[in-house]
């Protein structure tokens, strides 16, 4: 195998939960069976891998015959769901052993799943789950806000092919993400360390 044939790991992209959960469209850029699958962010970027940090508020084994763990991770804009089973043993072990609430960093692959009623759920298949501190969570919020606003600023650029694709697929204004992004940063001044107040109550995503 030549160096050109060795697959390279995609850079993990950052997005807040509000945008991530709106990203219902996935695609490939070639017909190769091994071609990476990308999630299209509404702000005009493709993501084969994502990096998120938030508060793990709930874990549950939702498997039937085998362990299949679901984790609920909250950021200032909404909720990420992560799922790990026998093919993600290290991540599944983390979800099994962690005691919520806890700040966690997750790197993984975005996945879409269409339910019986036609709704598309978006989740993360984790490659790694790591416990972090509040300062690391805060830095992620600030850096993710910067990346999001950069994508919005470049959305109208003539050569931005993924922005054009997002405009066609989602038919929504990216301006809505400006408000949620600014609110996410402002929430850092108000929230402090949330671990003593995090609650597992909230929405539940069904496979």
Whether the per-residue pLDDT at 204 is higher than 70: the answer is no
The answer to whether the peptide bond before residue 101 is cis (omega within 30 degrees of 0) is: yes
Is 201 part of a structural domain of the chain?
no
- Token couple for 48: 């084969």
Whether the per-residue pLDDT at 205 is higher than 60: the answer is no
Domain range holding 151? Answer: 3-186
DSSP class of 13: B
Is 193 part of a structural domain of the chain?
no
Domain CATH code at residue 126: 2.40.50.140
Mean per-residue pLDDT of the chain: 89
Is 109 part of a structural domain of the chain?
yes
Is 197 part of a structural domain of the chain?
no
SS3 category, 112: strand
Is 53 part of a structural domain of the chain?
yes
Is 205 part of a structural domain of the chain?
no
Query: Which class for 169: exposed (0-12), middle (13-18), buried (19 or more C-beta within 10 A)?
Result: middle
Strands 26-28, 120-131: parallel, antiparallel or unpaired by DSSP?
A: unpaired
Q: What is the mean pLDDT of residues 152-173?
A: 95
Is 145 part of a structural domain of the chain?
yes
**What are the pLDDT digits (tens) for 49-105?**
999 999 999 999 998 888 999 999 999 999 999 999 999 999 999 999 999 999 999
Q: What is the model's pLDDT at position 119? A: 85
Q: Which residues pair with 173 in a beta bridge?
A: none
What is the Cα–Cα distance from 139 to 202, expressed in whole angstroms? 25
**What are the pLDDT digits (tens) for 3-57?**
444 456 789 999 999 999 999 999 999 888 889 999 999 999 999 999 999 999 9
Is 207 part of a structural domain of the chain?
no
Count the neighbouring beta carbons within 10 Å of the beta carbon of residue 1.
5
Please tell me the pTM assigned to this model.
0.86
Compute the radius of gyration of the chain from its Cα atoms: 17
- The number of domains in the chain is 1
């Amino acid at each position: 195998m030549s160096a050109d044939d060795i697959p390279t790991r995609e850079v993990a992209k950052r997005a807040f939960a509000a945008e991530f959960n709106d990203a219902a469209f996935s695609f490939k850029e070639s017909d190769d069976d091994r071609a990476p699958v990308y999630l299209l962010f509404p702000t005009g970027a493709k993501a084969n891998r994502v990096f998120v940090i938030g508060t793990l508020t709930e874990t549950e084994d939702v498997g039937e015959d085998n362990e299949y763990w679901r984790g609920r991770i909250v950021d200032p804009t909404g909720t990420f769901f992560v799922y790990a089973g026998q093919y993600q043993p290290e991540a599944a072990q983390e979800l099994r052993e962690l005691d919520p609430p806890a700040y966690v960093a997750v790197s993984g692959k975005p996945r879409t799943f269409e339910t019986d009623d036609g709704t598309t759920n978006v989740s993360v298949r984790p490659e790694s789950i790591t416990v972090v501190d509040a300062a690391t969570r805060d830095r992620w919020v600030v850096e993710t806000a910067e990346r999001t606003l950069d994508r919005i600023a470049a959305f109208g650029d003539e050569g931005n092919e993924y922005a054009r694709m997002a405009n066609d697929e989602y038919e929504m204004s990216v301006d809505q993400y400006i408000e949620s992004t600014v609110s996410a940063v402002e929430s850092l001044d108000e929230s402090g360390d949330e671990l003593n107040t995090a609650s597992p109550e909230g929405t539940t995503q069904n496979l």
